[in-house]
Amino acid sequence: MAAARIPEPVLVDYDAARASFRWEEARALLDGLPGGRGLNIAHEAVDRHAAGPEGERVAIRWLGKRGERRDLTYHDLAAQSSRFANLLTDLGVARGERVFVLAGRVPELYVAALGTLKRGAVFSPLFAAFGPEPLATRLELGDGRVLVTTPRLYRRKVAQLRDRLPGLRHILLIREADDDEPGEIPGTIDLLSRLADASDTYTIPDTDPEEMALLHFTSGTTGKPKGAVHVHQAVVMHHIAGRYALDLRPGDVFWCTADPGWVTGTSFGIIAPLTNGVTMIVDEAEFDAERWYGILEAEKVNVWYTAPTAIRMLMRMPNELPQRFDRSALRFIASVGEPLNPEAVIWGREVLGLPIHDNWWQTETGGIMIANLRCLEIRPGSMGKPLPGIDAGIVEHREDGSVVEISEPDREGELALRPGWPSMFRAYLGNEERYKKSFVGGWYLSGDLARRDADGYYWFVGRADDVIKTSGHLVGPFEVESALIEHPAVAEAAVIGKPDPVAGAIIKAFVALHPGHEGSPELIRELMAFARKRLGPTVAPREIEVKAELPKTRSGKIMRRLLRARELGLPEGDISTLETPSSS
């Protein structure tokens, strides 16, 4: 296939950009509300484009799971989101009140998100696969006043919760063509008919950049999920990270496969691409390797942002599969969600013709903090370097509760960031004490352990509560997992520490195998020897157990803590984000 001409990176000189970067200049790349009336995410994402020559550019190209196809231009998206903002106003929804959306990847989700932000209300996405209990918990904690959902999801998951949610005043339903129980549902509002009656013009009110805009829930190891609060100022980070970390530029065709029920699907599946004037691909269907490659070809995708879990699933397919599709428009692939194993980076280069650029951030950071940028050398297995404007460090904890930065290279410690970037979360809703504990000694403490090499690249070691102390050595699970995945039989791996009276803890690995491989005693011995050869006897696992599937969150992260809890008979904690209830 003929390769397209690849333009130079948006960020050309990393060192120069870091030296000269000022957040005020990044803010100046955005328009602000007319008349200096503040900063509003929806205006920067949609209205400013709709009012200019880009108004007829396709903003969202929606691909339905049954073959439907729908284009929304920036002008269309501005009009539809204004209708939604007017509807909220008519319903008496006040600024700062929370609007939750529980839906699959349908156009109305994006309209609701942007219309909510225009109104000055707070957008809070929910993952459509959640069961009733996690939904109720989030709606209660967030004091949800409006819920946008579908008739099917309402009947199956929400109707039974209404008595528990007295503050939930309005249910807006998105009609489905294949609804098997058509007809009105008492106590709900037909969204599409009400949108049709609403005005398509709306003047966004003055918006303080520090006004609450987004509420994302993140699960902890125990207890209830935490609601991370983000403000309209976050759009500055979203925009610049889209440019620098994802190499976005106006007119690109961009595909983020993350569901908007997660922070990635909002920050980089809605806001960052739209502020950068791209055409977003939204695929309603679930993962299918052939469909995905077909989308890359048919839509001429330039930038593709996906997750390690999806990449590992693609790696399980025959390498001949992607060669059947024209990927010549594709210039950049990035990954986020959990660390990307070195083998996956190399596979991308060898099979897809492009390396896969890993990056690191969290729900709390609101945007990409550390990344393998296009202008820099990729070091497989590394998180990359901090974006311009982001000050990162490795710190160690002292007995008195303080922290001190580690200056020498390759020493492990906790990854920390200097507060002040625009998308930094402003609170855990209703949990001020927990929020304060996230900041010590002028640092935001991420809870992730990492190291920084002599050239300034950061390397993930593991979550602080995942690191294993065995025979006096601290072992990060990611290193062991990456080595196991190099074996041709292993598709996925997860490592925990198992208490041992002599070593303190031994390393136990759980693996899922590629099709065609059986978890025989011979294979287990082979994997043990394979790991010892690569890692040495201290770091290699002493036990390996084969699982049909490893427990994951619905965003694709392997839940090591759940494996540990099940292995040791401990409480499982918050499992509301578990992909399936299976204990396998």
Between the alpha carbon of residue 293 and those of residues 97, 118, 330, 345, the distances in Å are 40, 35, 11, 18
Between the alpha carbon of residue 176 and those of residues 179, 261, 531, the distances in Å are 5, 19, 51
Which pair of tokens denotes residue 469? 């102390």
- The size of the chain, in residues, is 584
pLDDT in tens, 369-400: 999 999 999 999 999 999 999 999 999 999 89
d(CA 59, CA 412): 43
Does the pTM of the predicted model rise above 0.75? yes
pLDDT in tens, the chain (584 residues): 444 568 899 999 999 999 999 999 999 999 999 999 999 999 999 999 999 999 999 999 999 999 999 999 999 999 999 999 999 999 999 999 999 999 999 999 999 999 999 999 999 999 887 788 888 889 999 999 999 999 999 999 999 999 999 999 999 999 987 776 767 899 999 999 999 999 999 999 999 999 999 999 986 544 578 999 999 999 999 999 999 999 999 999 999 999 898 899 999 999 999 999 999 999 999 999 999 999 999 999 999 999 888 898 899 899 999 999 999 999 999 998 878 889 899 999 999 999 999 999 999 999 999 999 999 999 999 999 999 999 999 999 998 989 999 999 999 999 999 999 999 999 999 999 999 999 999 999 999 999 999 999 999 987 776 767 676 555 778 778 888 988 999 999 999 888 877 667 889 999 999 999 999 999 999 999 998 887 877 778 999 999 999 988 766 778 888 888 898 887 776 666 666 543 33
Q: For the chain, which domains are there?
A: 14-452 (3.40.50.12780), 466-568 (3.30.300.30)
CA 518 remoteness from chain centre: 33
- DSSP H helical ranges for 222-275: 234-244, 263-266, 272-275
For residue 539, the tally of other CB atoms under 10 A from its CB is: 20
Q: Judging by DSSP bridges, how do beta strands 504-513 and 543-546 pair with one another? A: parallel
> Do the Cβ atoms of 440 and 404 come closer than 8 Å?
no
Reduced to 3 states (helix: H, G, I; strand: E, B; else coil), residue 363 is coil
CA angle 567, 559, 497 (to 5 degrees): 45
Reduced to 3 states (helix: H, G, I; strand: E, B; else coil), residue 22 is coil
Residue 143, by phi and psi: left (phi above 0), alpha (psi -120 to 50) or beta? left
pLDDT in tens, 88-109: 999 999 999 999 999 999 999 9
The values of phi and psi at residue 255, to 5°, are -130, 110
For residue 197, the tally of other CB atoms under 10 A from its CB is: 10
What is the radius of gyration, based on Cα positions, of the chain? Answer: 24
